[in-house]
Structure formats: C-alpha cells, structure tokens
Amino acid sequence: MKDNYKNRTKASFRNISVKNYSYYLPAVRIAKYPLDKRDESKLLILRNGRIKEDLFKNIDEYINRGSCLVFNNSKVIQARILFQKPTGARIEIFCLEPVEPNDYMLAFQQKQKVVWRCIIGNQKKWKSDSLQRPFKFEGNKYVLRATKKITSNGSPLIEFKWNATGLSFSEVLESTGLTPIPPYLNREAVALDKDRYQTLYSRHKGSVAAPTAGLHFTDNVFNKIATKNISKVELTLHVGIGTFRPIKSNKVTDHEMHTEHFYFDKTGIEHILENLNQIIAVGTTSMRSLESIYWLGVKINRGIIQKPEDLYISQWDGYHLPDDLSTKESLNTVIDFMKEKRTENLNVSTRIMLVPGYSFKLVSGLITNFHMPRSSLLLLVSAFIGEDWRKVYDFALENNFRFLSYGDSSIFFPE
C-alpha cells in the first residue's frame, strides 16, 4: 500500500485535468427519494478489477473475516431555517459552522445566543438588521431572532437569540430548522428526510450533509457483520456544505478544498493499529479522516505539530510531506502524542484532497455511493481504484443503479 517517497513524482498531481473525471449523468439516474428499506439498495462489488452486482443486505459476504470497518458517526443537523418578512419575502439561513462558541457541542448547548457562519438565501431582500421567526416547543410559543454581523471568509456571521430560558440551541434548531437535503435533488425537504437522511448510528450533531455511505446499514446488516468477527471503529467528521461544490477549475490545483473538522479517540486508533491492512472506510469522509491521521503522525514526528490546538492537515500535505514513516510508526506517534498531552480525544481540521497519484496509507477497502461528475469525491474514488472508476460507473449506468446521496452503494477492493 505504501510507496517510496523518493521514487514518487511530487508534481504529478499538478497536471491533473478535471475534465478527464467527468461522465454523463442523466437526471433519471439521480435518486430523489430513498428506498423503502435501507439495505435493499443495489451493491456494486469491485475486487481485483472484476465487477459483481448484489444487494447491500448481503455486503457481509464480500468483507473478509477480521476486517475493521471505520464509520463516521456525525449527525445531520436541521441546518436550514426559513424566515418570512412582513412583505412576504422568504429568507433562508443555512447554518454552516459555529463561531461563538466555535465548538460544536458547546454551541448546541447554549441557552441564550450563538453566532454561526452561514449562507443566506435571497440575501438582497434582507435590508433590516434582524429577522424574527415564531416557533413552538412543547406547546409553548417563542421567537427566534437572527442578526447579521461582520462577514468572514465570504460567509456572513449570524447571531441567533431566542426568548426561551433553558432552551438550548439544539432544541431551537429541532423546532425551527429543516433537513438540509442536497440541492441537486431539486425538491423541498419532507418529513421522511429527517429520519432517512441520517445513519442509524449517528451520534454527534454537526453535519450539514449526511455521510451517505452509511445510509444503507441496518440492524440486520450489523448483526450479519458481527457473526464474521468484523469489528467497528467510529470517528466523527462533520460534513460541510463544500461537499456539494463541483470543481469548476480545469486544473485540480486551482480548486480550494473546504475545511472540515473531525474527532477520534485513542482507543479507536489503537484498534486500527491492531488491524492494519484490513481497514475498510465506510464513506469518503471516513477515508479522508483516516488518511489525515497518517499525515498527522508525520507532522508530529517532524515537530511541525507540537500542541493539540495546532492539529491541521492542509490540502496537499499528502503530496508535499515525505512519507518515509511507516503507517505503524505514524499511528504510534499519534498515540504517544495523546499520552504525552494526557488526552483521550483529538480534534483535527483537515483540507486533505485525495486525487490520482496519492498513495493510500491506512485504507484497503472503501464503501461509497456514486458521486457527481467533476467532484472531489469522484477524484478520490479514482485515486483509490485507478482507471477502473470508468468501468465501474459505466456498469452502474448501464445496469440502472441509482446515483448520489439517496442512491445505491459500492464496495471497492483495488488490485
């Protein structure tokens, strides 16, 4: 899995043309709604260049005994809040990430006010300083007020206040917000989405898009996996709105990857260390987190990172940093760092972008849905399975697979 850094061409990724990672996706192939049963979705299996089709409920038959699945347990928040002005104009505020306080858990626990970085729909109609929206919670009536503050990084900062003593912002969102289904579905969120645009194992609130590879898992699938001695590790990456952004530039190096935050604990890293070469990422978010952890170890080992508050992986660290540290050495470095800092958990920011030419360090299998043309996620898939991505997507299109967030699934084991 690991190549020799000295023999790797550092600049190889610079010449990648995004137009080579496109395909024609008919609108009828985009799944607008989920299936009635999560695990009845189709499953495409790629192993050693050969393709097979099955149903997701049988995925245990394609995973080796003793493998370790890594899940992203982030929970989607009701991130879209609609306000209506007395004139009738509708303003939508899309919550991206907390600013004051900037910790997700603390932000959701606030009981008076919070400040979030947001996107504003129909912003030109918002002339006044604040908007108000009445809402109910447990039969009582309250008012949520939104006020524009200074703009940061191109996204407005919005201060939310509510007149309900003892009511947390988490409860306010549940009462006022809508499920942030992907814009390419071209429909309004419905009651069904609140449940189905969420994995069964979601725990920690913060995502504005679902880690969709996990939407297919059911209790039945988990029970079948358990009988094969397949273990599980969970981490948390809060999926940002950037996951919907297509790559508009022609050169991959002109694309600015969005920053996402992920969390993991020492016990999980120790378990991964015990199961190297058998790690299967459930979704691209888990994949990006796992590969970021390797580079985290490299940066700690080289003294680039010395404090827990400096845990950051940039977009091209996977290409610019030397990878002469083995995966085992890197993970042990991270564990030793956690022991030294006397912490069981780490909070990391990552902008890592995985494109063709990247050498994967931790992951030997990937479970994922089918992604948009010209997307960073499709480039990640191509980085993992090479030119087989074309064969996979052609097969899926020819055999009526459903695409994107509510679509069908695949599991890849590269040669």
pLDDT score at 2: 40
pLDDT score at 153: 64
pLDDT score at 4: 38
Structure tokens at 256: 């600015």
Q: Where would I find the beta strands (DSSP E) of 246-288?
A: 260-265, 279-282
Q: Are 30 and 243 in contact (CB under 8 A)?
A: no
pLDDT score at 79: 94
pLDDT score at 149: 85
Question: Cα–Cα distance between 52 and 166 in angstroms, integer?
Answer: 54
Question: Cα–Cα distance between 74 and 235 in angstroms, integer?
Answer: 8
Residues of the chain with pLDDT under 70: 1-13, 151-154, 244
Question: Cα–Cα distance between 197 and 9 in angstroms, integer?
Answer: 41
Q: Can you spell out the DSSP letters for 161-191?
A: EES-TT--HHHHHHHHEE----GGG-S---H
Question: Cα–Cα distance between 291 and 265 in angstroms, integer?
Answer: 15
Q: Are 338 and 344 in contact (CB under 8 A)?
A: yes
pLDDT score at 10: 47
Tokens 């909070």 -> residue: 347
pLDDT score at 122: 86
5-75+197-413 has which fold? Answer: QueA-like (3.40.1780)
Q: Are 334 and 291 in contact (CB under 8 A)?
A: no
pLDDT score at 379: 95
Q: Please name the amino acid found at residue 138.
A: E
> Terminal CA-to-CA distance of the chain, rounded, Å?
10
What residues are paired with 411 via a beta bridge? 45, 367
Angle of helix 284-301 versus helix 327-340 axis, rounded to 10 = 70
pLDDT score at 86: 82
Q: Are 362 and 70 in contact (CB under 8 A)?
A: no
User: 34 preceded by cis ω (within 30°)?
Assistant: no
- Domains of the chain by residue range: 5-75+197-413, 79-178
Question: Cα–Cα distance between 195 and 212 in angstroms, integer?
Answer: 13
